[in-house]
């Protein structure tokens, strides 16, 4: 039997976010780290999510990786395909969401898709084509200060038009509120002259209505939110292989660490809250780049403190400090220094028997996952909306939580630790 939904996610936290919502919706979901080289048992899976780390890559590289993932998914005969990007539409100045969407459409011989980043449960909504984060427009939400993908325009029609080759239209809230048939008609009308439709979405219910209206589209694009509507379509048709809501994860002994490379507004609060109770060590990019601070210093600190409880390593900093670091090292180099250091540190912590990793930030998660080299993640219970507890299976088992920058509340790290006990 074929796979119902074949997904390509442009970063690792985004992939677990999507997998978490699919699993919660009752779909057995396999999350793969990159395109697998060997055989994968999908006999019980309804959905597959391939996690890429393509969000900040140049368009041609992101397109090539996404097409490779699509080709693999096509071999599994998926009913629908999903391109998952960030609910805050994170893209660089030469954003690749448009080019990747175009390439996926072309490859599938399709001419129309929708743009639906909304995730109302986490405060992301779209109204009149403008993306909001809670009560603020995207470009006033803190996302304008993102180290790699600063978002300076909340108008998704304009952002998409600047990236993609076709025309972008809008299905406004007035139509969305009329129900699935009206939305479907709007898609049909728009598709005569447009290649993509941004769809206003202000509530969780809208995701189901939009999902229903999109059941006939081969390719969908968006955040994790829309997936609940797509899952419902399959469930209503009785297509799930085995209904289940989350996998039981193993109980695993061993130390826990928090690794935070996200500089989002929420992560800054989470880091500060964690520091009230637990010990932490800062990763200062300029000190690492100059050699003033070495991996060995961090390992000595870890060995000295590991018996005091969970520990945190963080590069998280304020927008002002990050700008200063980027001015000295360059934007790409600053991130590379932090990410490479995190990866090296994690590889050593793994050797020292750390078995529980709580990671904040999509790019940072990519670096950590690269060091731990899993091929597949088992998706467990949700710690916060869009952040499941996961287990790296095969080899020596580990628990890992990959948190998107702005997800979770202030106590997220503590909650994740408690769920790992
Ligand atoms: N002090 C710092 N100076 C410069 N760059 C930093 C610093 N701390 C972290 N970074 C870099 O900022 C980037 C943060 O991106 P990351 O994707 O990890 O977080 P995020 O964007 O908040 O999360 P998400 O993508 O899940 O929303 C990383 O590349 C990280 O290496
Ligand atoms: O959609 C989101 O906000 C997240 O899954 C994400 O992609 C953050 O990197």
Q: What is the DSSP string of 164-220?
A: -SS-EEEE-HHHHTT-HHHHHHHHHHHTTT-SEEEE-B-SHHHHHHHHHHTTT-SEE
Q: Determine, yes or no, domain membership for 22.
A: yes
Residue 2 has pLDDT above 90, yes or no: no
124-127 and 130-133 strand pairing: antiparallel
- Contact of 195 with 205, CB cutoff 8 Å: no
Residue holding tokens 């008609």? 185
| Residue 363 near ligand 1, beta carbon < 6 Å | yes
Residues 283 and 225 in one domain: no
On whether residue 250 sits in a domain, the answer given is no
Q: Which atom of ligand 2 is nearest to the CA of 386?
A: 5
The answer as to whether 351 is a domain residue is yes
Interval 295-353: pLDDT, tens: 999 999 999 999 999 999 999 999 999 999 999 999 999 999 999 999 999 999 999 99
Based on the domain organization, do 172 and 51 belong to the same domain?
yes
The helix/strand count (H/E) of the chain reads as 15, 18
CB of 113 shorter than 6 A to ligand 2: no
Are 229 and 272 part of one and the same domain?
no
Residues 297 and 150 in one domain: no
Provide the domain limits for residue 284.
255-420
Q: Out of 182-186, 206-210, 244-248, which region has the weakest mean confidence (pLDDT)?
A: 244-248
- What's the structural domain count of the chain? 2
pTM of the model: 0.95
Domain contains 25? yes
Does the beta carbon of 13 lie inside 6 Å of ligand 2?
A: yes
Among 12, 13, 385, say which to mutate for ligand 2: greatest number of ligand atoms within 8 Å of CB: 13
Whether 48 and 73 have beta carbons less than 8 Å apart is answered as yes
Residues 225 and 300 occupy one common structural domain: no
Question: What Rg do the C-alpha atoms of the chain give, in angstroms?
Answer: 21
CATH number where 208 lies:
3.40.50.10840
The whole-number average pLDDT for the span 94-122 is 97
Q: Is residue 19 within 8 Å of 50, Cβ to Cβ?
A: no
Ligand 1 pocket, 404 CB below 6 A?
yes
Number of residues written out for the chain:
421
pLDDT, residue 393, reads 80
Which is nearest to 232 in space by CA: 265, 258, 252, 208?
208
CB burial of 208-246 (b: ≥16 within 10 Å; e: otherwise) equals bbbbbbbbebebbbbbbbbbbbbbbbbbeeeebeeeeeb
Q: Are 281 and 220 in a shared domain?
A: no
The CA dihedral of 110, 224, 86, 171, to the nearest 10 degrees, is 60
Cα–Cα distance list, 145 to 63, 140, 318 (Å) = 26, 9, 9
Do 177 and 306 lie in one domain? The reply is no
CB neighbour list of residue 162: distance below 8 Å, 6 or more residues apart: 95, 98
271 pocket-lining for ligand 1 (C-beta < 6 Å): no
Q: What is the pLDDT of residue 77?
A: 95
Residue 76 in tokens = 């599994």
What would the two tokens of residue 208 be? 């189901």
CA distance 377 to 386: 15
262 lines ligand 2 (CB under 6 A): no
**CA distances in angstroms from 61 to 10, 151, 248, 253, 381, listed in the order given:** 12, 21, 37, 40, 34
Same domain as 214, residue 282: no
Contact 296, 302 (CB under 8 A): no
From 134-138, 390-394, 399-403, the region with the lowest mean pLDDT: 390-394
CA distances from 190 to 104, 158, 238 (A): 19, 16, 31
Are 195 and 283 members of one domain?
no
- For 3-33, the pLDDT digits (tens) are 999 999 999 999 999 999 999 999 999 999 9
Residues 231 and 299 in one domain: no
Residue 297 CA to ligand 2 center (angstroms) comes to 33
Distance from Cα 264 to the centre of ligand 1, integer Å: 8
Give the ligand with the smallest distance to the CA of 259.
1
Query: Would you say the CB of residue 317 lies under 6 angstroms from ligand 1?
Result: yes
- Average pLDDT on 272-283 reads 98
Ligand in nearest proximity to the CA of 56: 1
Report if residue 246 sits inside a domain: no
Question: Is the predicted pLDDT of residue 277 greater than 60, yes or no?
Answer: yes
Rounded CA-CA distance 114/27 in Å is 22
CA 352 to ligand 1 center in whole angstroms: 25
Task: Kindly tell me if the per-residue pLDDT of 1 is higher than 70.
Answer: no
Q: What's phi and psi for 80, nearest 5 deg?
A: -135, 160
ipTM for the whole complex? 0.97
What are the tens digits of pLDDT across the range 288-302?
999 999 999 999 999
The CA–CA distances, whole Å, from 304 to 234, 279, 298, 312, 344 equal: 52, 11, 10, 13, 19
Does 23 lie in the same domain as 92?
A: yes
User: Does residue 14 lie in a domain region?
Assistant: yes
CB of 362 sitting under 6 A from ligand 1: yes
């Amino acid at each position: 039997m074929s796979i119902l939904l074949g997904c390509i996610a442009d970063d690792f936290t985004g992939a677990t976010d999507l997998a978490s919502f699919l699993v919660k919706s009752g779909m057995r979901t396999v999350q793969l780290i990159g395109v697998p080289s060997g055989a994968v048992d999908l006999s019980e899976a309804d959905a597959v999510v391939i996690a890429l780390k393509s969000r900040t890559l140049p368009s041609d590289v992101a397109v090539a990786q996404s097409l490779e993932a699509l080709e693999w998914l096509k071999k599994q005969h998926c009913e629908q395909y999903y391109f998952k990007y960030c609910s805050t539409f994170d893209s660089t100045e030469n954003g690749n969401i448009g080019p990747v969407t175009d390439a996926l459409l072309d490859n599938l011989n399709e001419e129309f898709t929708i743009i639906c980043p909304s995730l109302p449960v986490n405060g992301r909504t779209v109204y009149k084509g403008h993306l909001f984060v809670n009560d603020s427009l995207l470009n006033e939400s803190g996302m304008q200060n993102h180290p790699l993908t600063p978002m300076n325009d909340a108008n998704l029609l304009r952002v998409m038009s600047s990236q993609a080759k076709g025309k972008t239209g809008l299905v406004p809230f007035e139509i969305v509120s009329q129900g699935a048939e009206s939305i479907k008609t709007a898609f049909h009308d728009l598709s005569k002259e447009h290649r993509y439709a941004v769809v206003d979405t202000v509530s969780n219910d809208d995701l189901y209505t939009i999902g229903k209206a999109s059941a006939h589209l081969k390719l969908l694009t968006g955040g994790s939110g829309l997936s609940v509507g797509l899952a419902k379509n399959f469930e209503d048709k009785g297509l799930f292989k085995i209904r289940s809501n989350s996998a039981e994860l193993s109980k695993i002994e061993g130390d826990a660490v928090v690794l935070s490379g996200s500089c989002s507004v929420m992560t800054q609060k989470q880091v500060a809250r964690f520091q009230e109770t637990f010990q932490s060590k800062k990763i200062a990019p300029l000190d690492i780049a100059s050699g003033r601070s070495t991996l060995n210093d961090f390992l000595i600190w870890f060995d000295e403190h590991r018996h005091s409880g969970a520990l945190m390593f963080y590069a998280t900093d304020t927008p002002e400090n990050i700008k200063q670091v980027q001015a000295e090292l360059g934007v790409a180099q600053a991130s590379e220094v932090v990410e490479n250091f995190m990866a090296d540190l994690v590889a050593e912590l793994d050797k020292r028997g750390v078995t529980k990793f709580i990671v904040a930030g999509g790019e940072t998660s990519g670096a950590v996952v690269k060091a731990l080299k899993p091929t597949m993640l088992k998706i467990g219970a949700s710690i916060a909306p869009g952040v499941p507890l996961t287990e790296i299976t095969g080899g020596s088992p580990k628990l890992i939580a990959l948190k998107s920058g702005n997800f979770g509340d202030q106590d997220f790290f503590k909650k994740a630790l408690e769920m790992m006990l």
